[in-house]
Structure 1
Amino acid sequence: MSKSNDLNILSFPWDGVLPESAQVIVRDLDVVGVGALRQQELLKIKAEREIILQTHSSFIPATVRAIYDEELQRTLQWLTPVRVIAEAKFNFEEEVLKTFVRIFPKTHHQLGVMSSKLCAEYLKEMEWSSWLLQDHWRYFSGFLRQKYMDKQSLVDLVQWEWIHAWLEVQPFELASGSSKQIFVNPSLQTLNLSHDNEQIQRTSGLYTFVCNQDSVKVIETKIDIYEAALLDLLAGDREYTEEQLLEMALLEELSSPLTRDQWRKKIEALLASKVIMKA
């Protein structure tokens, strides 16, 4: 977290450290409309400090201004800041570059001297189409993939970091239904690493990422072909009871079929890691 000595402005992603002052400032550019982990963090901050919300309404792109106004009102209802202050000065390029370093720290380090040049190219091509500074980097992994098609480890690294950043702020709604029904966690993201990756210290394979609001963490799990098959069965918002999912799994045509008990353990493992859930 970086902060101004005078204003104690919190930067996000947040490292969990609070200044000693009784009040802290958060910016609409970091908090309006967020859900998931960041909302939980803000509620924790709210319980320990008085929050002042700094707004940048005059700088918000016209294309999203109406949506921003609606989300701002919703955010004010749960954030309940003690004060709202309007900021008159704003250097978009400077602030969005600071955000880049915070959400892509390893990518920034890996790119080295090329980081500034690539960010400048990206900013030149991409119009700011959101009020959240973080959202401006949503296409950076694709942009980098075009530049470095022969460097899969780097492409995987930037996508890895973006998934974590995206899961931190997205508002997810859990499906409603019978408590016996199993469904895929709505926050589920996946990434297949074709090679071992030293930067993120992970071996090749298929990884899942889900937001766990109970622990306020992103849970990362490496899954095998059987667990992937179970996710395929639940694709398209299909829901089964555990027994129904088990029966469907037994029909799967895999080179090394599992027994009923083995399939049940696979289902239990996915439930334990929050990749799939019961309503």
Structure 2
Amino acid sequence: MSKSNDLAILSFPWDGVLPESAQVVVRDFDVVGVGALRQQQLLKIKAEREIVLQTHSSFIPTTVRAIYDEELQRTLQWLTPSRVIAESKFNFEEEVLKTFVRIFPKTHHQLGVMSSKLCAEYLKEMEWSSWLLQDHWRYFSGFLRQKYMNKQSLIELVQWEWIHAWLEIQPFVMLKGSSKHLLVNPSLQTLNLSHDNEHIQCSSGLYTFVYDQESVKITEAKIDMYEAGLLDLLMGDREYTEEQLLEMALLEELSSPPTRDQWQKKIEALLASKVIVKA
């Protein structure tokens, strides 16, 4: 959290701490066009404090300026700040590096003294093509892979942290849960850990990541090959009820197939973790 003209500026990803002041400042670089977890956080902040929106229109890349203007108007409708202030000063490199540390805290720690050098190289190679500072790091995992091809645990750590950062802001069209048909959560992301990863204290295997709109959290879960198979069935063109999905699973030709009861429990586990939802 920083200060600007005696007003507290909230940093995102947000740590959940609010200042004592009646007003807080949020920046267009952090909030315009966002959805999912960050939008819900902003609505919570709005219920407790007056929000001042700080804009940086003159710094937005021309390639996305028209889209930014449209998204800004949409954001103003739901955020309804008490006032909007235009900022004339902005140090892009300083602010985007601060964002890097917030969205990749463990990666930053693991890189150690190399972090600053690698970030500087990345910034030279990548043109800013978004208004959100966080988006500027979306290719960092690929960039780091080129530098450390043999450090798979580090690459997977970067991917893990980026998935969380990406899920936090995406404006997903979430489902109401009013029918009996099952669908894959529209926010689903997956990552296969090739080895046990001590950085995130997770064993090797396939992990799912989803935004759970009920708990307003990003959750991760490890799934087995059978649960992955259930997801494959749901990603097809047909819609299934829970019973229909169970029957389809029983038709799968597998060398060591689960029993009906075991399949049922796997479906229930996917529902409980919100990896699949009722549409």
When normalised by structure 2's length, the TM-score is 0.97
Tell whether the 8 Å contact from 1:40 to 1:213 is kept in structure 2 after alignment: no
Taking the aligned partners of 2:237 and 2:212, their CA distance within structure 1 comes to 19
Query: 1:161 is matched with which residue?
Result: 161
SS in 2 for 1:8: strand
Query: 2:27 is matched with which residue?
Result: 27
Tell whether the 8 Å contact from 1:183 to 1:238 is kept in structure 2 after alignment: no
Tell whether the 8 Å contact from 2:12 to 2:102 is kept in structure 1 after alignment: yes
Taking the aligned partners of 2:20 and 2:177, their CA distance within structure 1 comes to 45
Query: 2:129 is matched with which residue?
Result: 129
Matched to 1:108, the amino acid is H
Query: 2:182 is matched with which residue?
Result: 182
Question: Where do residues 1-279 of structure 1 align in structure 2 (5 Å cutoff)?
Answer: 2-4=1-3, 6-174=6-174, 179-236=179-236, 238-279=238-279
CA RMSD of aligned residues (A): 1.3
Structure 2: where are the runs of 5+ without partners?
none
SS in 1 for 2:51: strand
1:262 to partner: Cα distance: 1.2
1:174 to partner: Cα distance: 2.7
Taking the aligned partners of 1:165 and 1:175, their CA distance within structure 2 comes to 21
Taking the aligned partners of 1:184 and 1:237, their CA distance within structure 2 comes to 12
Taking the aligned partners of 1:252 and 1:192, their CA distance within structure 2 comes to 23
Deviates more, 1:226-235 or 1:167-176: 167-176
Cα offsets for 1:147-183 (capped at 9, x unmatched): 1110000001000000000010001113579701100
Taking the aligned partners of 2:94 and 2:221, their CA distance within structure 1 comes to 35
1:244 to partner: Cα distance: 1.4
Cα offsets for 1:37-95 (capped at 9, x unmatched): 00000000000000000000000001100100000000000000000000000011110
- Identity fraction in percent: 86
Tell whether the 8 Å contact from 2:177 to 2:277 is kept in structure 1 after alignment: no
Taking the aligned partners of 1:236 and 1:186, their CA distance within structure 2 comes to 14
Structure 1: where are the runs of 5+ without partners?
none
Number of residue pairs aligned between Structure 1 and Structure 2: 278
Taking the aligned partners of 1:144 and 1:265, their CA distance within structure 2 comes to 39
Matched to 2:32, the amino acid is V
Cα offsets for 1:86-108 (capped at 9, x unmatched): 00000111100000000000000
When normalised by structure 1's length, the TM-score is 0.97
SS in 2 for 1:248: helix
SS in 2 for 1:130: coil
